[in-house]
Chain A
Amino acid sequence: MTVVATAGPIADAIAAGELPGRVWLYSNYHCNLACSYCLTESSPRSERRQLTPELMLGVAGEAAALGFTGLGVTGGEPMLLAWLPDTIASMAEHLPVVVLTNGTLFVGDRIKRARPLARDGVAVQISLDSHLSDVNDMARGPDNFAKVVEAVPQLIALGVRVRIATTTAGPLDDPALEPLKELVLSLGVAPEDHLVRPIVRRGRADERGLGVAAVARDIPSELTITADGAYWGSFGPTVRAGRLDTDLLITRTVLPLSVPANALLSAVRGLPPGNDANLGIR
C-alpha cells in the first residue's frame, strides 16, 4: 500500500465524516447480462464508456494521496475486460479495492482469470438476489443462479475474498431473505460479507417503476469516476432511455482527482444532510 494522506482538505473531510472514503470507478458500461433493475441499462449492446488501465491506476494513486481510504470498481460487467484483474491487483497497491461483478464469467476454466484477485486488499462482490434460482434468474437472466453458486466456492478456494450483494424490492430486514442468507453462508461467505440493499429507482429500474426513489441527498456522496466525468455517488452515472444522466454530474474533469474531489466537497457542503441511512442505499 502507498501511504494514504492523513491531512489536507479531502482527508480532513473524510475523517470528519463529511465525505465517504471510497472512490468508485465505472470501468465500463457493457455487460453480458441485462437485468431488469439495472441502473446503467447495461447489456451486450451498450455503449462501452470504458476507462483505460492507466486512468484507473492514476485515480488509485491520486485517491491515496488525497486521503481517500478505499476504491470500488463497477460497471457494466468489469470482468468483460481481460486486463481488469491485473489492474485491480495494481490498484490494491494503493488502496483496498472491491470489484463488483455478476460472477458469471468465472465458470469452468475461466476461474483462472481470477488469480490476480487472490490477494490482500481485494474483495470481489457478486450479486445474488434469491435462494430460488427461478426468482433470481427472472431479474438477472437465465442460468445466473447456477453460475454464481458454482463460481463462489471456487473463488474462495482460489483465495479470493468474496462478498455477496443482494438487491431487493422488499424490506431490507425481510424474514423471507433468511434462506438466502443460509445459502450464502453455505457457499463459504461470512454473514458480514453479505450485503442487502434496495433497488434504487434510476436507470432501467426507473423506467419500470421499480425500487426506492432517491434524490442526491439520499445517495452516499462517494466520488465516482466514469469515462464521461465525475459524479456524486455510484448511483449517479446512471443511464435512462439511452441518455447518461447528468443530475449528479460533478465535473467532466477526472484527473487531477483533486478537481472533482474538491467540487464534490463543495456540493456536499452546499446541500442539507440526506437520509441515506434510512433508505439503506449502499
Chain B
Amino acid sequence: MSDDVAMARVELLDVANAPISAEAYFDGGDPGPIVAALASVPELLGPTLGFVGAALGDGAAASRHKEFAILRTSVLQGCRYCVTAHTAVSLDAGLDVAEIRALRGDVSIESAFHDERERALIGWIDAMAGATGPVPDDVWTSAREHWPAHVLVELSVTIGATMFLNRFATGFELPTSPDVETRLASAGLT
C-alpha cells in the first residue's frame, strides 16, 4: 500500500496489490491516485482512461483552450485535486500566472484575458460547468460568433470528463502529489 492510503477514502492499490488484469497500468511504478483508486474495479480502467484520455488529450481545440475548460470546470466544481494538478498542466500549456489566477477565480477574467474570443469561450465554459439548465442565448451566440460548433462539442466532452474526475477525486479525497504542490509553490500558485 502506498503512503497515500490513509489520506484517501478508498484504497489506493500499489504495485504489490495491483490486479493482474491491470498490471500494464502499474508497469512504470506508482500510476497516480486516480488509476490507483480505479484499479479496484479493473475492468473499468481501460474504458474510463480511454474516455478521459480522449476527452482531455489533443484534439481540434488547442491545448491552451482545453486547459481553460479543465481548470475552470474544476474551480467551479470545487475540486482541489484537479485544480492543483491542472494548474501545473496549464503552466506547461503556456498559460501565464495572471491567466491561471483569473481562471482560478482569484482575479477577474477581464483583468487577465483581453482577447474577445477567449472571453466568450470562458463565458460559455462557465455556463456549461457552473450552472444548471440551458446555456443562456447571449452566451451561446457570443461563443458561436468566435468558435466553430465542433470545437464547442469537443470541449463539452472535456468539461464532462473533467466533472467526472472532479467528483471522483473530491468524493474519494484523493491526495495531491507532493511534487505538484512543490512546483506550484515555486510559481507562487498554491
Within 8 A of B (CB), among A233-255: 245-253
Residues in B with CB closer than 8 Å to A26 are none
Contact between chains at A246 and B43 (CB < 8 Å): no
- Hey, what's the 0/1 contact readout for B35-75 against A, CB within 8 Å counting as 1? 00001111100000000000000000000000000000000
Q: Point out the residues of chain B lying under 8 angstroms from A264, CB to CB.
A: 21
- What secondary structure prevails in chain A residues at the interface with B? mixed
Cβ of B138 < 8 Å from any Cβ of A?
no
> Do A246 and B13 touch (CB < 8 A)?
yes
Do B41 and A252 have beta carbons less than 8 Å apart? yes
List residues of B (1-57) whose CB comes within 8 Å of A's CBs.
13, 16-21, 23-24, 39-43
Q: Are A251 and B42 in contact (CB under 8 A)?
A: yes
Q: Which residues of B contact A263 (CB under 8 A)?
A: 21, 42-43
A253 to B21, CA, bound (A): 13
Q: Are B16 and A247 in contact (CB under 8 A)?
A: yes
A176: Cβ under 8 A from any B Cβ: no
In contact, B43 and A247 (Cβ under 8 angstroms): no
Within 8 A of B (CB), among A250-282: 250-253, 259, 263-264, 266-267, 270-271
In the assembled complex, how far is the CB of residue A14 from the closest CB belonging to chain B, in whole angstroms? 19
Q: Which A residues are in CB contact (< 8 Å) with B43? A: 251-253, 259, 263
Inter-subunit contact A249/B16 (CB<8 Å): no
Say whether B23 contacts A248, CB under 8 Å.
no
Chain A residue contacts of B16, Cβ below 8 A: 247
Asked if A232 is at the interface of the complex by the 8 Å CB criterion, the answer is: yes
What's the Cα separation between A271 and B24 when bound, in Å?
11
- A216 interface residue, CB < 8 Å from B? yes
Q: Which residue of B lies closest to A266 (CB)?
A: B21
CA distance A264 to B23 in the complex (A): 13
Q: Are B42 and A247 in contact (CB under 8 A)?
A: no
- The reply to whether A270 and B23 form a contact with Cβ atoms under 8 Å apart is yes
Contact A216 B21 (CB under 8 A): no
Which of A245, A246, A266 neighbours the largest number of chain B CB atoms within 10 Å of its CB? Answer: A246
Name B19's contact: one of A247, A253, A266 (CB within 8 Å). A247
CB neighbours of B18 from chain A (8 A): 246-247
- A-side contacts of B39, CB under 8 Å: 246
Q: How far, in Å, is A238 (CB) from chain B's closest CB?
A: 12
A250 touches B17 (CB 8 A): no
Determine the residue in chain B with the shortest Cβ distance to A271. Answer: B20
Looking at the assembled complex, report how far the CB atom of B126 sits from the nearest CB atom of chain A, in whole angstroms.
Answer: 37
Q: B17 is contacted by which of A232, A245, A251 (Cβ under 8 Å)? A: A245
- Residue numbers in A under 8 Å from B23 (CB-CB): 267, 270
Q: Which of B16, B17, B20, B39 has most A Cβ within 10 Å?
A: B20
Residue numbers in B under 8 Å from A250 (CB-CB):
19-21, 42
Once the chains bind, are A267 and B40 in contact (CB under 8 Å)?
A: no
Distance A253 CA – B16 CA, assembled complex (angstroms): 22
Residues from chain A with Cβ under 8 Å of B40 in the complex: 246, 249, 252
- Residue of B13, B21, B23, B40 with highest tally of chain A CB at under 10 A: B21
Question: How many whole Å from A220's CB to the nearest CB in chain B?
Answer: 13
Give chain A interface residues in 179-201, CB to chain B under 8 Å: none
Chain B residues, Cβ within 8 Å of A247: 16-20
Q: How far is the CB of B48 from chain A (nearest CB, A)?
A: 13
CB-defined interface of A70-99 with B at 8 Å, one 1/0 digit per residue? 000000000000000000000000000000
B19: chain A residues at CB < 8 Å are 246-250
For A251, what are the chain B residues with a Cβ–Cβ distance below 8 Å? 21, 41-43
The 4 closest A-B pairs by CB, nearest first: A249-B19, A251-B43, A250-B21, A252-B41
Q: What is the interface of chain B, defined by CB distance below 8 A to chain A?
A: 13, 16-21, 23-24, 39-43
A-B contact pairs, 26 of them (CB 8 A): A246-B17, A246-B18, A246-B19, A246-B39, A246-B40, A247-B17, A247-B18, A247-B19, A248-B20, A249-B21, A249-B40, A249-B42, A250-B19, A250-B20, A250-B42, A251-B21, A251-B41, A251-B43, A252-B42, A252-B43, A263-B21, A266-B21, A267-B20, A267-B21, A270-B23, A270-B24
